[in-house]
Structure 1
Amino acid sequence: MERINVAVRARPLSPEDVKTSPWKISANSIVFSNSSTKFEFDRIFREDCRTVDVYESRTKAIVSAAIGGFNGTVFAYGQTNSGKTHTMRGSSVEPGVIPLAVHDLFDMIQQEIDREFLLRMSYMEIYNEEINDLLAPEHRKLQIHESIERGIFVAGLKEEIVSSPQQVLEFMEFGEAHRHIGETNMNLHSSRSHTIFRMIIESRDKVEDEYAESSCDAVRVSVLNLVDLAGSERAAKTGAEGVRLKEGSHINKSLMTLGTVIKKLSEGAESQGGHVPYRDSKLTRILQPALGGNANTAIICNITLAQIHADETKSSLQFASRALRVTNCVHVNEILTDAALLKRQKKEIEELRAKLQGSHSDHLGEEILNLRNTLLQSELERERIALELEEEKKAQAERDKMLLVQAKKIQNLSSMVLSSNRDEVTDHRKKDKRRDTWCPGRLPEKMVNKLPSTIPGQASAVKPVKSDRERGPLLPFEELVNDSTSNVIKERDCNSVGPNGFGLPNPRSLIHVTSRKKAPARKKSLPAESAELTELREEYENLLIQFETQRTRSEIEIDYLTRRLVKANYAFDTDEKAIELSTIEKENEPEASLVIKQLQEKISMLEMERSLSLQNLESATALETEKNMHASNKQEEVGLHESLDFFFSDNTPKLCSKTSLLDLP
């Protein structure tokens, strides 16, 4: 376990700020004079310190460990205009931490005579939460990936194989020219993005036979990150507007996420199974191995001791003091497979070396380096294309999934519309209150027309019978049985079979009447119906039912006899058969005439009884109406006050609707 090393570096002050500064530095502690707040760190560098002293304190050891296979990270933290870029980049007169680390790196590699090394470098920036490649400015908005072999890496980031510190610094100068900087009220060249300079160091033991390959050789792969963070800022002090204000908001957001991660790690949230929000920012996601992971980490906290920046300085010191409690688990990174670039390229490099030696090239080393860079770039390009294809496949899968979800939604909405339509139809039917009623009735014309009457040269002997029943307000079957109603024979009981194969239908067969609406109930205008009127109504209904039943029975019997006569006439088409037909007609004519005569007499009697009942019912209704009018005239003679009291009293008989004859059983 290795604790994060934290050093504090104070920016030089003007003579006036020195007099008013509220901070006091004593050894490796700093105190705020207006309170008892005290901060202690591994090292505190005063205003007159040199950058090389800051580098020697901790960064040099991290660089040395990186050569041995340990990951390392060094980054500068602090408010804007506190000297972070000066500490990391430096100047031509006073080199910063990054140039010093690059020179030391190559010097230490030269001393490792028993190992061979391959160095690669990359340079990126995080601007407005987007990753841009500073070595390939056309590569923008790169994505972060993670794998078992490479860990967390940025896909598509250009890497250059380098062999000297001058080459590294030239690439850095090229990248710095594409970095986003801007002018604010506090700094003429304010960094508007976080930059991460990365060195990937691969090494392996040298072997006597250069062409011998051993599958058990371990390759060490370490990553050295040197990070220059953009400074936190307040818009009121920097005067940021428009683009500068947007840049400042993204910078503050990423630094706030970094502070939250450090706070969670200092409280032991990760070891206790808690959530650490690495993914809330691109910066913390890339630096995840350096924060509570497998890396030697050092933080250089840059502060300003001026009175005007007391609040920002206190916030930076609080962040640095929390980082002191974060520990990392550091170990050597060794790869036993062919995943390391050094091992994959060794054979090709040696073949190229032999070819160049055979051609007596004067620039052997330069040619080898160029070829290795070409090979590396082709591999990186192939990797980038593979990652883009993978991303495209994932995006296609997401689109297909969304299409399926949309199709299900459309299907559900369609079913809902159909259900709604069915509900509307059901409600409409409920409002119509249609019902199927079985009642006696005559045969429909469709059934009559289907009777056999196709004798050559003769017309049909069966003619539809039309009803001439009298219509009136008290006839319940007037709306049920009419010429426009679609009637279908529901049931026919053929109990008796004639000699010629005809079955006589049961005269009690019922006719299915459809499309009937219930008649609206009539409101009663009388206080109560008299018993005599009710009896007359029931008697009338019974007579009406008997009349309809007898009429239906008569029609069915007439139809049966008519069909027998038609078939008998159709059976004889010669003179001899005509004689037999006339004999049969003579035998059947008296019987049929007798039955028809009896039925007609019964129909006449029922019609007379029906007319008599109708007259009695009308006279009773008129009598009751007259009584009601007489009672109403008497009530008008009573005074208005008594009439109102009588109307609102509890003894007043309640008015109720008159029951329609259609509702009686």
Structure 2
Amino acid sequence: MVAAASRIEGNMGEGINREPSFQEEEDEFSGVYSIDVAVRVRPLNSMELADSQLHTVRVMDEKIVVVLDPSKLEGGNEDDYLRAHRSRERRYTFDHVFDETASQQKVYAATTEKLIGGVMEGFNASCFAYGATGAGKTYTMLGNKENPGCMLLTVGELFHRIEDDTSKTYRVYLTYLEVYNENIRDLLNPSTGYLDLREDPVKGICVAGITEFSTTNVGETMELLQRGNLNRTVEPTKKNETSSRSHAVMQIMIEAKEKTADISEQVKIGKLSLIDLAGSERASATDNRGARLVEGANINRSLLALANCINALASDSEAAARAGRNGRRRVRSNFVPYRDSKLTRLLKDSFGGNSRTVMITNVSPAGNQYEETVNTLKYANRAKDIKTKVVQNVVELDAHVLQYQNIIRELRSEHRGQEGEERGRLAV
């Protein structure tokens, strides 16, 4: 069964020097990457169909998304004199655009599947869903029993690849938390209460006191994921009957090392972060009161901080590109307000650090969601300009005296086995 491992402040393995050394040599997964941005358009839901909402989003060539002005479509508001001579059509280009007919498998294959190989080789990767409330983020990341989402499909493929790789030994452990009303809570061990964020000079941003659960197969990992989802804060609103009132962050850490015994060896540590963000919302549209209104205010606060970080990082990347083209050296960089929210502090590595990141933007095609859809696509379009530098995380493992004896014992038993096989062949 699933066993709780050590707390996050503890060491991840005996004899491991926690000082990482980053390899700068050429590698298949290392280098500078732009954030990979995908857009998924969900179908009209039952409430929107009952309200006869217009379908205002069009997908072209799986790269371009067009948002049409609902007042200019048939049945729209033709008496909107303030905008009579202003076109409100918007067109954006992204790495991938999925219409309402796209399957979960298709979205997964174009986004998170390509991150798995790098994580197994000691690189960091992140995937998160972004969008307004009711846009389909939780369905994209979690899905259901019939149509599992990116989280479940990624975990399944990860363990299949680990089982197929016989040249290395792997250790896998995970954490699952939520950010609710600017407080962090462990979804797998809620009894720990609210947790604090710490910034470690070696491990980076980490959550003090969160429990790491070690897992060995797909079944155990799925059980942990389901247990965490049951503890997540979900409440009905006017826009969504199962609205996520918190940001959920699942992090899977993988330690890989060669099976061949040696007195000194390298351990590659990869981290995969899968994030299901809560949706931005307008109080006037959701008609929230009381606790729901406070939750919505905190959700919007953290998402505004995230948008400010996206703008600052994108401007930083653009300024660096202009300085390079003009032959000038840019001395000053923009300030990125990571500390404005606990969510942005948690996602610091995913946006501006050592991580290859995929952003899945979910939008609604309904005419009454026009403003929310345009704003979401604006920030997604801005995120395309952010660049991250991905390097391999390698930890040097030095064997102790007792480990030398174990290594010698393993080599001797392996040598005896080879001699036995040789005698058997000679006898035949």
**TM-score bracket relative to the smaller structure:** 0.7 to 0.9
Q: 1:10 aligns with which of 33, 37, 41?
A: 41
Rounded Cα–Cα distance in structure 1 between residues aligned with 2:338 and 2:378: 20
Rounded Cα–Cα distance in structure 1 between residues aligned with 2:272 and 2:58: 34
Q: 2:306 aligns with which of 258, 261, 284?
A: 258
Rounded Cα–Cα distance in structure 2 between residues aligned with 1:188 and 1:20: 21
Partner of 2:361: 301
Deviation at 1:20, TM superposition (A): 2.2
Q: 2:138 aligns with which of 71, 85, 99?
A: 85
SS class of match (1:142): strand
Structure 2 CA distance for partners of 1:283 and 1:19, relative to 1, 3 Å? closer
User: Which protein is bigger by CA-based radius of gyration?
Assistant: 1
Q: Which amino acid aligns with 2:235?
A: G
Rounded Cα–Cα distance in structure 2 between residues aligned with 1:319 and 1:186: 22
Partner of 2:396: 336
* Deviation digits for residues 346-366 of structure 1 (CA, Å, limit 9, x no counterpart): 96xx89xx9xxxxxxxxxxxx
* Deviation digits for residues 314-352 of structure 1 (CA, Å, limit 9, x no counterpart): 0000010000110100011101156xxxx89x96xx89x
Contact 1:17 1:306 in 2 (8 A): no
Contact 1:73 1:297 in 2 (8 A): yes
Rounded Cα–Cα distance in structure 1 between residues aligned with 2:255 and 2:341: 29
SS class of match (1:241): coil
Structure 2 unaligned residues grouped into runs of 5+: 1-31, 70-86, 321-331, 411-428
Query: Which is richer in strand?
Result: 2
Rounded Cα–Cα distance in structure 1 between residues aligned with 2:218 and 2:234: 25
Partner of 1:232: 280
Partner of 2:296: 248
Contact 2:90 2:374 in 1 (8 A): no
Q: Which amino acid aligns with 2:209?
A: G
Structure 1 unaligned residues grouped into runs of 5+: 355-665
SS class of match (1:253): helix
Q: 2:91 aligns with which of 21, 35, 38?
A: 38
SS class of match (1:179): coil
Rounded Cα–Cα distance in structure 2 between residues aligned with 1:122 and 1:302: 25
Deviation at 1:21, TM superposition (A): 2.5
Contact 1:201 1:221 in 2 (8 A): yes
Contact 2:37 2:360 in 1 (8 A): yes
SS class of match (2:294): helix
Rounded Cα–Cα distance in structure 2 between residues aligned with 1:38 and 1:17: 26
* Deviation digits for residues 487-508 of structure 1 (CA, Å, limit 9, x no counterpart): xxxxxxxxxxxxxxxxxxxxxx
Contact 1:74 1:227 in 2 (8 A): yes
Rounded Cα–Cα distance in structure 2 between residues aligned with 1:49 and 1:247: 32
Rounded Cα–Cα distance in structure 2 between residues aligned with 1:21 and 1:103: 35
Deviation at 1:224, TM superposition (A): 0.4
Q: Which amino acid aligns with 2:60?
A: S
Rounded Cα–Cα distance in structure 1 between residues aligned with 2:232 and 2:59: 35
Deviation at 1:73, TM superposition (A): 0.3
Rounded Cα–Cα distance in structure 2 between residues aligned with 1:32 and 1:224: 33
Identity of aligned residues (%): 36
Deviation at 1:268, TM superposition (A): 0.8
Rounded Cα–Cα distance in structure 2 between residues aligned with 1:26 and 1:121: 38
Partner of 2:58: 24
Rounded Cα–Cα distance in structure 2 between residues aligned with 1:312 and 1:180: 23
- Give RMSD over aligned pairs: 2.2
Contact 2:159 2:218 in 1 (8 A): yes
* Deviation digits for residues 159-178 of structure 1 (CA, Å, limit 9, x no counterpart): 01100011011111111111
1:99 is the counterpart of 2:152:
yes
1:283 is the counterpart of 2:343:
yes
RCO higher in 1 or 2 (8 Å CA, sep ≥ 6)? 2
Rounded Cα–Cα distance in structure 1 between residues aligned with 2:368 and 2:57: 12
TM-score, structure 2 normalization: 0.76
Q: 2:382 aligns with which of 316, 322, 327?
A: 322
Rounded Cα–Cα distance in structure 2 between residues aligned with 1:58 and 1:30: 17
1:49 is the counterpart of 2:64:
no
Rounded Cα–Cα distance in structure 2 between residues aligned with 1:323 and 1:203: 32
Q: 1:108 aligns with which of 161, 184, 191?
A: 161
Rounded Cα–Cα distance in structure 2 between residues aligned with 1:126 and 1:85: 15
* Deviation digits for residues 170-217 of structure 1 (CA, Å, limit 9, x no counterpart): 11111111111111111111100000011010011111x4xxx523x1
Rounded Cα–Cα distance in structure 2 between residues aligned with 1:61 and 1:192: 30
Q: How does 1:47-446 map to 2 (within 5 A)?
A: 47-207=100-260, 209=261, 213-215=262-264, 217-268=265-316, 272-337=332-397
Deviation at 1:19, TM superposition (A): 7.2
Contact 1:18 1:306 in 2 (8 A): no
SS class of match (2:191): coil
Residues matched between the structures, number = 341
TM-score, structure 1 normalization: 0.49
Q: How does 1:521-532 map to 2 (within 5 A)?
A: none
Rounded Cα–Cα distance in structure 1 between residues aligned with 2:383 and 2:266: 34
Contact 1:70 1:333 in 2 (8 A): yes
Contact 1:70 1:222 in 2 (8 A): yes
Deviation at 1:23, TM superposition (A): 2.7
SS class of match (1:336): strand
Structure 2 CA distance for partners of 1:255 and 1:19, relative to 1, 3 Å? closer
Q: Which amino acid aligns with 1:159?
A: E
Deviation at 1:44, TM superposition (A): 0.6
Query: Which is richer in helix?
Result: 1
Contact 1:74 1:226 in 2 (8 A): yes
Rounded Cα–Cα distance in structure 2 between residues aligned with 1:46 and 1:274: 36
